[in-house]
Amino acid sequence: MKNYDIVIIGGGPAGLAAAVSAKENGIESILILERDKELGGILNQCIHNGFGLHTFKEELTGPEYAGRFIEQVNELQIEYKLHTMVMDIRADKVITAMNREEGLFEIQAKAVILAMGCRERPRGALNIPGYRPAGIFSAGTAQRLVNMEGYLPGREVVILGSGDIGLIMARRMTLEGAKVKVVAELMPYSGGLKRNIVQCLDDYGIPLKLSHTVVDIQGKERLEGVTLAEVDGKGKPISGTEEFYSCDTLLLSVGLIPENELSGGMGVELNPVTSGPRVNESLETNIEGVFACGNVLHVHDLVDFVSEEAKAAGKNAAMYVKSEGITDRPASDKGKKPCVRLKATDGVRYTVPETIHVDRMADTLTVRFRVGGVYQNCFISAYFDDERVIHKKRPVVAPGEMEEIKLTKEQLEKYPDLEMITVKIEEA
């Protein structure tokens, strides 16, 4: 069995940034396992621009953004295996993987970084009634067909879901010659960025119908049309509002789910809200030495934040490996000293991380979260037990955009008996 200090599961943006960071923090023995034919993950099919404004201070396309990190991985001579599927990870960090050349093989890691990303929610998860013909794609599948393989999935398109992938695909399909008839969104607001609504829909005269959903799918072999209807406040279709759109293609952009089957299999505890692992300030899961970052942890909207999070995970994994053998290393004091718990409430759906060991945290810790609705002129507040310590005014917050607060070690050290930090939205 081969041994590595750190094995990274997934060579997408999270895995790449984690690898670079682990190397820069002094770990030599690193392996990235990637199931696809190349590094870069889903960025390779995101050929649109808008990536990297935070990380590189310039606007890049997905492949270019991935390319920057791949270059670093190559320069740092970090080892990786492509076409390699991880079949199983055990709690003792033995990884079983498979590829054509090496067959089925095991690797022992000292630390594991989970960076498997996410998958799209399929039609079935939405219970859309109707037939099941060809021509129904998740937006990402269509994106791969068009951008990587050069095939057009259809000519007349309806898109359900106004998440960013759906909006981006509306423009892509238009520019490749398809007619995008309408984008329907179940919620009364779009889950995508304003910029994408303007530049992907408005630029091409594609209507966006909020509070609408698909209520029927017609066509036995190839899709022939869909029926849209308006929904009420509870998301139930309103009878009498049905409208038929003839089309040969329905793209679904209805949400992403972190891919945590491997994590679950090894005993990593998951948060039902994010479907991602529960982590502490080090982005470490309930299994010591197993870290998570990127979309497998919680779904991000900007890759820049994935890279930032992965950088922290890589650094923390490096510190974990380097502290091996030291009996009083901070990682082993779980249970001795109670950690600070974070609670999400009043419009805040979750926080990453969920616990903080103050002695182990970096000088500044970013707590990321999402809100459950659109709030205008509100405050994002953090209470240290009963005392309100952070009270940040925000003109608007929305579920489509990830929020954050920063905590400093200095600040937390002032509250030695702190048990709980409550993060909430407070209306003005």
Residues 110-149 that bind other proteins (CB under 8 A): 119-120, 122-125, 127, 129-135, 137-138, 140-141, 144-149
Residues 2, 54, 195, 414: which binds other proteins (CB under 8 A)? 195
Residues 53, 198, 326, 420: which binds other proteins (CB under 8 A)? 198
Beta strands in 234-326 (DSSP E): 243-246, 249-252, 256-258, 270-271, 276-277, 290-292
Distance CA 393, CA 378 (A): 6
Residue showing tokens 């608007």? 396
Q: From 46-54, 311-319, 320-328, 383-391, give the range in contact with other proteins by CB under 8 A.
A: 46-54
Residues 77, 221, 233, 363: which binds other proteins (CB under 8 A)? 221
| Residue 308 contacts residue 55 (beta carbons within 8 Å) | yes
| Residue 214 contacts residue 228 (beta carbons within 8 Å) | yes
The reply to whether 34 sits near other proteins by the rule CB under 8 A is: no
The reply to whether 225 sits near other proteins by the rule CB under 8 A is: no
Beta bridge partners of 254: none
88 burial via Cβ count (<10 Å: 0-12, 13-18, 19+): middle
Nearest residue (CB) to other proteins, 110 versus 123: 123
Residues 77, 103, 205, 233: which binds other proteins (CB under 8 A)? 103
Give the CA diameter of the chain: 69
User: Within 10 Å of residue 105's Cβ, how many Cβ atoms?
Assistant: 16
Nearest residue (CB) to other proteins, 137 versus 291: 137
Residues 259-298 as x/- pattern, contact with other proteins by CB under 8 A: --x--x----------------------------------
Residues 294-333 as x/- pattern, contact with other proteins by CB under 8 A: ----------------------------------------
Residues 71-90 as x/- pattern, contact with other proteins by CB under 8 A: ------------x-x-x---
The reply to whether 155 sits near other proteins by the rule CB under 8 A is: yes
Residues 25, 63, 390, 409: which binds other proteins (CB under 8 A)? 63
The reply to whether 59 sits near other proteins by the rule CB under 8 A is: yes
| Residue 231 contacts residue 243 (beta carbons within 8 Å) | no
User: Within 10 Å of residue 399's Cβ, how many Cβ atoms?
Assistant: 18
Residues of span 383-412 touching other proteins by CB under 8 A? 395-398, 400-401
Nearest residue (CB) to other proteins, 47 versus 389: 47
Nearest residue (CB) to other proteins, 3 versus 376: 376
Nearest residue (CB) to other proteins, 396 versus 420: 396
- What are φ and ψ of residue 350, in 5° steps? -165, 170
What contacts 416, CB < 8 A, 6 or more positions away?
Answer: none
Smallest CA-to-CA distance from 228 within 250, 243, 249, 207 is with: 243
What DSSP character marks residue 123? G
CB of 153 to other proteins, least distance (A): 6
> For 386, what's the count of Cα atoms within 13 Å in the CB-facing half-sphere?
0
Smallest CA-to-CA distance from 358 within 282, 297, 283 is with: 282
User: Total residues contacting other proteins (rule CB under 8 A)?
Assistant: 80
The reply to whether 176 sits near other proteins by the rule CB under 8 A is: yes
Residues 2, 54, 194, 392: which binds other proteins (CB under 8 A)? 194
Question: What six digits make up the tokens of 225?
Answer: 């049309």
The reply to whether 61 sits near other proteins by the rule CB under 8 A is: yes
The reply to whether 222 sits near other proteins by the rule CB under 8 A is: yes
What contacts 340, CB < 8 A, 6 or more positions away?
Answer: 355, 356, 357, 358, 412, 418, 419, 420, 421
